[in-house]
Amino acid sequence: MKGLSKSLYTTFCQCPKAMWLKVYNPDVATDDPALQARFEAGNEVGDLAMGLFGDFVEVTVRRDYGGLDLTAMVERTKEEMVRGTECICEASFALDSNYCAVDILRRTPGGWAIYEVKSSSSSVGDELNAPDKFQKYAVDIAYQRWLLEQCGVKVTGTYLVTLNRDYVRQGDLDIQQLFNILDLKDLVNNEYVKVASNVARAMEVLQQTSEPTQAVGDHCSKPYGCAFWDYCLGQQGVKNDEPSVFNLYRLSGKKKLAYLNAGKISFDDIKNENLSPIQRTQVDCTLNGTQYIDKAGSKDFLDGLSYPLYFLDFETMMPPVPEFNGTKPYQQITFQYSLHYIEQPGGELKHTEFLAKSDGNDPRRELAEALCGDIPEDACILAYNDPFEKGRIRELAAIYTDLSGRLMNIHDHIQDLLVPFKSGFYYVPAMGGSFSIKSVLPALFPNNTELNYSNLKGPVHNGGEAMTIFPQIAKMEPAKAAAARQALLEYCHLDTLAMVKVWEQLRETTN
Ligand code: SF4
């Protein structure tokens, strides 16, 4: 008989259909490109947390093919509990066909405490100040407590372990400071009383041979975004490759669902609705197969630029466990930039770039110095969605005070190439209601294969992949490392070349 795990139980609590699909039709899920990176981050954090209470025994047992041997893990857990082990990691329990593994099970005077480890971050006291944030974890921990108690284990405490977002690394990693332990007793108590009936209902759904019926709704994104969203929307008549209310520019999720529930899906269905000016442009252009250009608006923006003109893009990583002195969990660490530039009107397009060494050292000082050397004082700089670049430069200026004057000069001269698009000056239907550079570029240059991110041959096609691969390079063998660095350079180069092409196209439209 199919049984529950922690993951299946929490999925059931969000949506019974999602749990059923996970078990019986997982192939209809939409791939999450960031999943592997999150999984690896979770493993790194989980491994570090095992040492939080001193000596421990980890009872993980793997079969030859790499999968977990749950039966052996349950047996090992029993042995360690009898032996008097204080701290058991991945402590495993099974009852009937239901199963759970406790990240850290710690002996207490009257029984055992459960510690669930998550790679998210929190501050001391968050569970008291903002308990709602931890509700989703309480569901998971309540299931663990229930299963342990069904197995005859007295549970004396229910805790969540997260990274401490206020920890600043100085020297060696201090894991006592790195982690924040939150007592979720009250939240877990509230959830605990629901577990027995939830498990009974979930088991009924699990034994069903037909897919449960469930319309999409608010629950699809709370507490987690559902991987079956595209599949379920498709069942309700929303086609991925056709314009619909679900790609209307800046329409709230609530309004999208309201339209869907009213049977209004296509742009034709909503053309007479009350829309924002950009939404109106989007709908009209799409239905009529036309583009919209506000020449005066675009010209105003372009007139505000000057030479020398620079096009700047950063790549960053966000290590969950801080790697460098003075950094916190998930702090953005800038390791790369690409810079296209034109020194005078009609001048040649030139390029320079920086990619930090893959030696495990903090790349920021060298990057800040290179940036100050590459961009002359008072130069006009374009970024795409400039709060990101400006934010990173402010951070660098705050750390390297000797460079702060130059860095803030760069900061103060950055303008945002996104402005003409988000101001509604230029729209073509292929943008599909998104003004990210990844949407704007192919929309403006549909036939230019060199300006297509998916044609990049290496393993980096977006910022997420760049963020994931850079810290891994230090551990790669030389040929793979060289290929990864080349892929980073090509990706970031395309980001600023894309900006140059978009700027040129804007200029064309105003002639
Ligand atoms: S998209 Fe919504 S309705 Fe469909 S399985 Fe996921 S949570 Fe359930």
pLDDT for 267-299, tens place per residue? 999 999 999 999 999 999 999 999 999 999 999
Q: Which secondary structure element, helix H or strand E, spans residue 340, and what is its range?
A: strand 333-342
Distance set, CA 372 to CA 364, 369, 375, 437 (Å): 12, 5, 6, 25
User: What is the Cα–Cα distance from 179 to 170, expressed in whole angstroms?
Assistant: 15
Q: Which of 20, 21, 211, 214 best tests ligand 1's pocket when mutated (most atoms within 8 Å of CB)?
A: 214
Distance CA 286, CA 137 (A): 43
Give the integer Cα–Cα distance in Å for 138 and 155. Answer: 14
Phi and psi (nearest 5°) for 102? -90, 130
- In the prediction, which pLDDT does 72 show? 96
Helix (H) or strand (E) run with residue 312 in it: strand 309-317
Does the beta carbon of 233 lie inside 6 Å of ligand 1? no
Q: How far is CA 470 from CA 21, 287, 391, 479, 492, in A?
A: 35, 43, 20, 15, 13
State how far the Cα of 252 lies from the Cα of 284, in Å rounded to an integer: 20
Q: Looking at residues 80-108, what average pLDDT do you find?
A: 97
Question: Which range is least confidently modeled, 215-219, 426-430, 455-459?
Answer: 455-459
| Closest residue by CA, ligand 1 atom 5 | 18
Short-list 417, 416, 400, CA closest to 408: 400
d(CA 62, CA 60): 7
| Residue ranges of E strands in 384-433 | 414-416, 426-427
pLDDT tens per residue across span 373-383: 999 999 999 99
Q: What is the pLDDT of residue 26?
A: 96
Distance 199 CA to ligand 1 centre (A): 19
Give the pLDDT of residue 287: 97
Residue among 15, 21, 231, 257 whose CB has most ligand 1 atoms within 8 A, to mutate: 15
Question: Residue 36 pLDDT > 80, yes or no?
Answer: no
Average pLDDT, stretch 442-455?
A: 90
Arithmetic mean of pLDDT over the chain: 95
Residue-level pLDDT at 125: 87
Distance between Cα 202 and ligand 1 center (Å): 15
Residue 360 confidence (pLDDT) above 80 = yes
pLDDT value of residue 401:
97
Residue 241 above 90 pLDDT? no
Question: Could you report the per-residue pLDDT of 385-412, keeping only the tens digit for each?
Answer: 999 999 999 999 999 999 999 999 999 9
- Alpha-helical regions (H) of 120-237: 126-129, 135-150, 175-178, 185-207, 229-235
226 Cβ below 6 A of ligand 1: yes
In this structure, how many other beta carbons lie within 10 angstroms of the beta carbon of residue 45? 22
Per CATH, the architecture of 6-207 is what? Alpha-Beta Complex (3.90)
Determine the residue of 8, 232, 236, 261 to mutate for testing ligand 1's pocket, defined as the one with the most ligand atoms within 8 A of the Cβ atom: 232
Residue in the structure block whose two tokens are 């509604």: 424
Query: Residue 121 forms beta bridges with which residues?
Result: 163
Is the confidence at residue 495, as pLDDT, over 80?
yes
Q: Is the pLDDT of residue 33 over 80?
A: no
Structurally, at CATH architecture level, domain 291-511 sits in: 2-Layer Sandwich (3.30)
Q: How confident is the model at residue 2 (pLDDT cuts 50, 70, 90)?
A: confident
pLDDT band at 454 (very low <50, low <70, confident <90, very high): confident
Other CB atoms within 10 Å distance of the CB of residue 126 = 17
Question: In what helix (H) or strand (E) does residue 443 lie, and over which residues does it extend?
Answer: helix 437-444
Q: What percent of the chain has pLDDT over 70?
A: 100
What's the CA-to-centroid distance between 11 and ligand 1, angstroms? Answer: 10
Mean pLDDT for 33-46 is 84
Task: Give the tens place of pLDDT for each residue, 111-159.
Answer: 999 999 999 999 988 888 888 999 999 999 999 999 999 999 999 999 9
Q: What is the pLDDT of residue 318?
A: 94
- Asked if residue 14 lies in contact with residue 224, where contact means CB atoms within 8 angstroms, the answer is yes
Where residue 501 falls among pLDDT bands split at 50, 70, 90? Answer: very high
Residue 353 CB neighbours (<10 A): 17
State the amino acid at position 187 in one-letter form.
Answer: L
- Residue 329's pLDDT band (cuts 50, 70, 90): very high
Given a contact cutoff of 8 angstroms between Cβ atoms, the answer to whether 404 and 436 are in contact is no
Tokens of 485: 């660095």
Q: Residue 9 Cα, ligand 1 centroid: separation in angstroms? A: 15
Nearest CA to ligand 1 atom 1: 229
Q: Which residue puts its alpha carbon closest to atom 2 of ligand 1?
A: 220
Side-chain half-sphere of 268: how many Cα atoms within 13 Å? Answer: 3
Q: Round to whole Å and give the CA distance between 36 and 42.
A: 10
Ligand 1 atom nearest residue 226's Cα: 6
- pTM (2 decimals)? 0.92
The single-letter DSSP state of residue 311 is E
Answer whether 18 contacts ligand 1 (Cβ < 6 A). Answer: yes
**Residues 423 and 297: beta-carbon distance below 8 Å:** yes
State how beta strands 349-355 and 333-342 pair.
antiparallel
CB-side exposure of 103: number of CA atoms within 13 Å? 26
